A = this chain, B = another copy of it.
Amino acid sequence: MIVKYMLNYSPRLDQVFPALADPTRRAMVERLSRGPASVSELARPLTMSLPAVLQHLQILESSGLVRSEKAGRVRTCQIEATALRTAEQWIADSRSRWEQQLDRLGAYLARKDDQPEHRRD
């Protein structure tokens, strides 16, 4: 799909936002933000099967939000901050652009209030 005004198009955002759209995956990211964890540590508080947890983990890994490494029989997962930063930056850019627009509008209205109206008599 071609969107003419989508200047900062990033294929990574197309994976990161859908990955964060699910509350279980956000819970996994929150847990991992407190430190690396094995798959079973990640799964323990979740009320779902291990295959379901692994499927969520796979989506987090494809999005670049999480990476995991296997040492012996234990797979340890950790956050990849770059993907989080990309999403955070996109939101921050949109928000600050909009806030600047609001400030400009506010300043314009204030100027308009101060000036007497020019009449054409």
Contacts and interface: CB of A to CB of B under 8 A. Distances in A.
Contacts of A1: 23-24, 46-48
Nearest to A91: B88
A101 B34 contact: yes
Contacts of A73: none
Interface residues of A, number: 46
A32 B97 CA distance: 9
A102 to B, nearest CB: 8
A49 interface: no
Given A4-B45, A18-B21, A47-B3, A92 B101 contact: no
Contacts of A3: 23-24, 27, 45-47
